């Protein structure tokens, strides 16, 4: 009986020792703080040497970055390129995590081999000697916060399993001003050195000569998604291209009206931008007769919005002579300007109805005291009186002959409507009247006279809300002023 009891006690002691041994074979480490750093991943897959953020003895980190200036990098063979940040977490137990390592983040296996094709693939993973884990996160335009549960499992060299759990909270903040994405349209395009026009989603660049070696200058008028001209400070940039390998400067290069290119962009002038076309620099222009297409779109930017046009297929053709306009005429037969007010008339082809790049000149007998003409296309009222202007247009007709057309004259009446301090007409603050703009281009000013600065323009047919008048000036609902002479109820 004693022998049986002794055997039972021995078995119980053996079972107890086995349970104790099993319990000692697993260890969990948690609740620690770490060294956490964040580095921008640059083109090529390496991190910028200056950290975006870095802190010791923490479990959270705020990462500030400028989304607009970051590089896009390849995130995988079948993935979209993105702007990425490499996160460093240092401080894992190097004395116990020494065997075969397995890592999970938020319960999912973390393996660099899963990101085949990523530029930074060889930079991520766990360094067991240093106790550092590196993993990528995406930087977005809007920013976000997320908590990552990291588990590293290994053995300690004595057959015991060790699991260290770290909870790291990241707050990603885009420091660059967030801008809304909007749509822009092209309302007018013309060319100097090339016949430029739009048909549907195609921009045609027709050269009269058999080559495209000479640079051309395009003039493009933009409007916003509502069809309004841009009346705030707006920048325009080189036309971009999707899916085509273009020269670094692009096909349409942002320039001033003299053709001087600025790769950093330029300000629109009353919704008009100028683009220099380096036609002869592109090898594919050699195949122009084959109607080579390339896609381009245009980008504009204000303080709060980024505008993009739709994509256009550009068709470059040589030995295409301009259609004979059969004469030219002013879109308006007469205009009235205030002293100091400027106006650029629109000149059209009789047969084509398209805008032509004509030179404006004083008509016979016109006194230069009444008007001035700037840049061969803009009329400025200088003194009270009446003047006349004509337009001249030259083009290369089929056969290579230079043809010229001169328009009939347009009457220009200049008046002195300088605001003399008279009070605004009484108007119910809650009552507004809707008017239509009758001028092809109507200046918008900060006050009720031409002595106030111009802030933009309105085009014919635009509806405006008038809340009051000062003499011959209308106060708009946005607080700006336009001449009543060019409004119709």
Query: Is residue 418 over pLDDT 70?
Result: no
Query: What predicted TM-score, i.e. pTM, was given to this entire model?
Result: 0.45
Q: What is the pLDDT of residue 269?
A: 85
Q: Could you tell me which of 295, 260, 251, 256 has the C-alpha nearest to residue 272?
A: 256
Q: Which residues contact 350 (CB under 8 A, 6 or more apart)?
A: 325, 326, 327, 328, 329
CA–CA dist 384, 407 (Å, integer):
24
Higher pLDDT, 132 or 229: 132
Secondary structure tally for the chain: helices H, strands E: 1, 41
Identify the residue with better confidence: 62 or 424.
62
Cα 194–chain centre separation: 27
Specify the range with the lowest mean pLDDT, choosing from 28-37, 48-57, 227-236, 429-438.
429-438
Closest CA relative to residue 423, chosen from 487, 477, 468, 482? 468
Query: Please, which contacts does 395-399 make with residues 24 or more away whose CB atoms are closer than 8 Å?
Result: 395/322, 395/324, 395/325, 395/356, 396/208, 396/321, 396/322, 397/321, 397/322, 397/324, 398/321, 399/321
pLDDT above 60: residue 283: no
Give pLDDT, residue 179.
76
CA distances from 352 to 323, 329, 349 (A): 8, 11, 5
Spatial separation of the C-alpha atoms in residues 341 and 271, rounded to whole Å: 17
Beta-strand pair 53-58/34-40:
antiparallel
User: Which among 322, 300, 309, 324 has a CA at the least distance from the CA of 204?
Assistant: 322
Average pLDDT over residues 448-454: 70
What is the model's pLDDT at position 70? 92
Residue 4 clears pLDDT 60, i.e. is over it:
no
The pLDDT value recorded for residue 369 is 82
Contact criterion met (CB below 8 Å) for 238 and 249: yes
Question: Cα dihedral angle (186, 308, 265, 313), rounded to 10 degrees?
Answer: -60
Say what the pLDDT of residue 333 is: 85
Which residues, 6 or more positions from 83, have their beta carbon under 8 angstroms from its beta carbon? 67, 70, 71, 72, 73, 138, 139, 140
pLDDT of residue 417: 60
Least confident of 79-83, 239-243, 340-344, 391-395: 239-243
Q: How far, in Å, CA of 359 to CA of 231, rounded? A: 26
Q: For 218-238, what is the mean pLDDT?
A: 89
Range of weakest confidence among 9-13, 189-193, 461-465: 9-13
d(CA 2, CA 8) in angstroms, rounded, equals 10
pLDDT surpassing 60 at residue 243: no
Q: Residue 147: pLDDT band by 50, 70, 90 thresholds?
A: very high
pLDDT tens for each residue of 454-475:
778 888 888 898 988 877 788 8
pLDDT above 60 for 8: no
Q: Cβ atoms within 10 A of the Cβ of 480, count?
A: 21
Taking 80 as the threshold, does the pLDDT of residue 234 lie above it? Answer: yes
Complete edge-to-edge strand list for the sheet that includes strand 463-470: 454-459, 441-445, 481-483, 473-476, 463-470, 433-437, 487-488
pLDDT of residue 463: 87
Rg (CA), the chain: 35
CB 384 within 8 A of CB 415: yes
Residue 303 and residue 324 in contact, taking contact as beta carbons nearer than 8 Å: no
Q: Judge whether residue 19 has pLDDT over 80.
A: no
In the block, residue with structure tokens 């588990």? 151
- Can you tell me the distance from the alpha carbon of 327 to that of 253, in angstroms, rounded to the nearest whole number? 32
- Break the chain down into helix, strand, coil percent, rounded to 5: 10, 45, 45
Q: Is residue 23 predicted with pLDDT exceeding 50?
A: no
- 359 DSSP β-pair partners: 392
Kindly state the average pLDDT of the residues 182-208. 87
CA angle 128, 132, 133 (to 5 degrees): 100
Q: What angle do CA 201, 207, 208 make, to 5 degrees?
A: 135
What is the residue-averaged pLDDT of the chain?
Answer: 81
85-130 confidence digits (pLDDT tens): 999 999 999 989 988 899 999 999 987 666 778 889 888 999 999 9
Which pLDDT tens digit goes with each residue over 284-315?
444 444 444 467 899 999 888 889 999 998 88
Residue 70 burial (C-beta neighbours within 10 Å; 0-12, 13-18, 19+): buried
Mean pLDDT across 17-29: 61
pLDDT at res. 161? 92
Does the pLDDT value for residue 24 go beyond 60? no
Q: Coil, helix or strand for 408?
A: coil
CA torsion through residues 437, 439, 445, 448, sign: negative
Decide if pLDDT at 79 tops 50.
yes
- The mean pLDDT value for 433-460 works out to 80
């Amino acid at each position: 009986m004693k022998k049986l009891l002794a055997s039972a006690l021995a078995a119980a002691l053996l079972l107890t020792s086995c349970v104790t041994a099993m319990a000692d074979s697993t260890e969990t480490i948690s609740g620690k703080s770490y060294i956490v750093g964040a580095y921008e991943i640059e083109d090529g897959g390496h991190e910028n040497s200056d950290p975006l953020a870095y802190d010791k003895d923490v479990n959270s980190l705020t990462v500030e970055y400028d989304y607009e200036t970051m590089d896009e990098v390849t995130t995988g063979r079948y993935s979209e390129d993105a702007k990425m940040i490499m996160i460093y977490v240092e401080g894992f137990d190097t004395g116990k995590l020494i065997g075969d390592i397995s890592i999970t983040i938020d319960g999912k296996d973390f393996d660099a081999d899963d990101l085949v094709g990523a530029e930074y693939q060889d930079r991520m993973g766990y360094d067991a000697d240093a106790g550092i884990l590196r993993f990528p996160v995406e930087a977005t335009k809007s920013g976000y916060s997320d908590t990552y549960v990291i588990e590293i499992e290994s053995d300690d060299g004595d057959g015991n399993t060790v699991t260290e759990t770290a909870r790291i909270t990241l707050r990603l903040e885009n420091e660059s001003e967030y801008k809304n994405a909007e749509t822009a349209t092209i309302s007018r395009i013309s060319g100097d050195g090339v016949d430029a026009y739009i048909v549907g989603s195609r921009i045609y660049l027709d050269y009269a000569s058999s080559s495209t070696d000479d640079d051309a200058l395009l003039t493009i008028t933009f409007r916003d998604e509502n069809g309004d001209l841009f009346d705030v400070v707006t920048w325009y940039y080189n036309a971009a291209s999707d899916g085509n390998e273009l020269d670094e400067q692009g096909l349409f290069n942002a320039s001033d009206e003299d053709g001087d290119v600025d790769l950093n962009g330029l300000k629109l002038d009353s919704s008009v931008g100028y683009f220099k076309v380096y036609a002869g620099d592109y090898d594919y222009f050699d195949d122009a007769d084959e109607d080579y297409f390339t896609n381009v779109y245009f980008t504009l930017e204000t303080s709060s919005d980024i505008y993009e046009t739709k994509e256009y297929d550009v068709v470059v053709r040589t030995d295409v002579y301009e259609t004979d306009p059969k004469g030219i005429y002013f879109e308006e037969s007469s205009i009235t300007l205030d002293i100091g007010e400027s106006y650029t008339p629109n000149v059209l082809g009789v047969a084509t109805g398209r805008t032509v790049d004509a030179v404006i000149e004083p008509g016979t007998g016109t006194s230069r005291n009444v008007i001035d003409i700037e840049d061969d296309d803009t009329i400025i009222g200088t003194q009270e009186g009446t003047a006349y202007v004509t337009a001249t247009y030259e083009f290369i007709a089929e056969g290579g002959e230079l043809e010229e057309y001169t328009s009939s004259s347009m009457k220009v009446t200049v008046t002195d409507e300088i605001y003399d301090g008279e009070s605004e007409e009484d108007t119910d603050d809650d009552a507004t009247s809707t008017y239509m703009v009758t001028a092809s281009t109507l200046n918008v000013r900060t006050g009720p006279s031409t002595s106030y600065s111009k802030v933009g323009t309105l085009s014919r047919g635009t509806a405006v809300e008038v809340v009051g008048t000062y003499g011959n000036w209308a106060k708009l609902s946005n607080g700006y002023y336009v001449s009543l002479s060019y409004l119709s109820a």
